[in-house]
Amino acid sequence: ETGVTQTPRHLVMGMTNKKSLKCEQHLGHNAMYWYKQSAKKPLELMFVYNFKEQTENNSVPSRFSPECPNSSHLFLHLHTLQPEDSALYLCASSQDPGLASNEQYFGPGTRLTVT
Amino acid sequence: GQNIDQPTEMTATEGAIVQINCTYQTSGFNGLFWYQQHAGEAPTFLSYNVLDGLEEKGRFSSFLSRSKGYSYLLLKELQMKDSASYLCAALDSNYQLIWGAGTKLIIKP
C-alpha cells in the first residue's frame, strides 16, 4: 500500500467522450504530479501542483485538463482524446518538489485505452 | 538536451548478481534516483544518490560517479520477485526529474 490511490484502474473511452481520472494521497504531502507512461518510453511529466498551485505544465495538449481542489486530491479531466493518448497515467505525490532528496510516491495508475 | 540512457532489457539467473547501468546528461544535477516497477504496479523508490560512491541497502546497492555522469544499480542474490522494470531518473538544476525508459529485468530459475 503506497498511500496514493487512483481510480479507475482501467478506462476505455471513445474519442468523443469526456471522463475524469482521480488521484488521492493519504501521506500529508504538499506536491502532486501527473505522469504519462507509454510502453518502452520514459515517464513523461504532465503537470505538477505544489500547495494546490500548478507549477508545471509540460506543453500538454488542452484536451487534458488538471484540477487540484486541495493538496490531497488531483483530477485529470479528459475530452476528445486521440488513440495515441492511450497509456498508463500515473499520479504521484511528494513532500516538497524543491528538495533534492524528494522521493515521489506513486499510485498504481489508470490504464487508458482510447478507441 | 537532457537524456538518460539505460539498457532496454536484461536477463539474469536466480541467485546471481546483476548490474544495471545508467548514464545521464542533464542541465545541472541534484541527484539520481532508482525506482522499481513490477508489471501493472506503481513505481516504488529504491535509492537516491547525490554524492560519489556506493550506497548499500540489503541486497540492493547503488553507485554514482558525477564526473562520468554514470550510475548503476547492483542486485545481489537475485530472487524471482526481482523480475521488474528498473527506472533511473536524474534530478536537474530545476529539481525536475528526467526519467530513463527503464530496464526490464528478467530472472530465470
B48 forms bridges with which residues in the sheet?
Answer: B33
Q: What is chain A's length? A: 115
* CB contacts, 8 Å: A99 with chain B: 95
Residue ranges of chain A whose CB lies within 8 Å of a chain B CB: 2, 4, 40-43, 45, 56, 90, 97-109
Residue ranges of chain B whose CB lies within 8 Å of a chain A CB: 4, 8, 30-31, 33, 35, 40-45, 48, 50, 87, 89, 91, 95-102
Q: Which residues contact B38 (CB under 8 A, 6 or more apart)?
A: B83, B84, B85
C-beta atoms of B87 and A43 within 8 A: yes
Residues B83, B85, B88: CA angle, nearest 5 degrees: 135
3-state secondary structure chain B: CCEEECCCEEEEECCCCEEEEEEEECCCCCCEEEEEECCCCCCEEEEEECCCEEEEECCEEEEEECCCCEEEEEECCCCHHHCEEEEEEEECCCCCEEECCCEEEEEEC
What are A1-46's pLDDT values in tens digits?
559 999 999 999 998 889 999 999 999 999 999 999 998 899 999 9
What percentage of chain A reaches a pLDDT higher than 90?
76
pLDDT of residue A2: 57
Does the structure show a pLDDT above 80 at B1? no
C-beta atoms of A108 and B42 within 8 A: yes
Q: Are B107 and B82 in contact (CB under 8 A)?
A: yes
Backbone dihedral angles phi then psi of residue A85, each to the nearest 5 degrees? -85, -5
C-beta atoms of A108 and B87 within 8 A: no
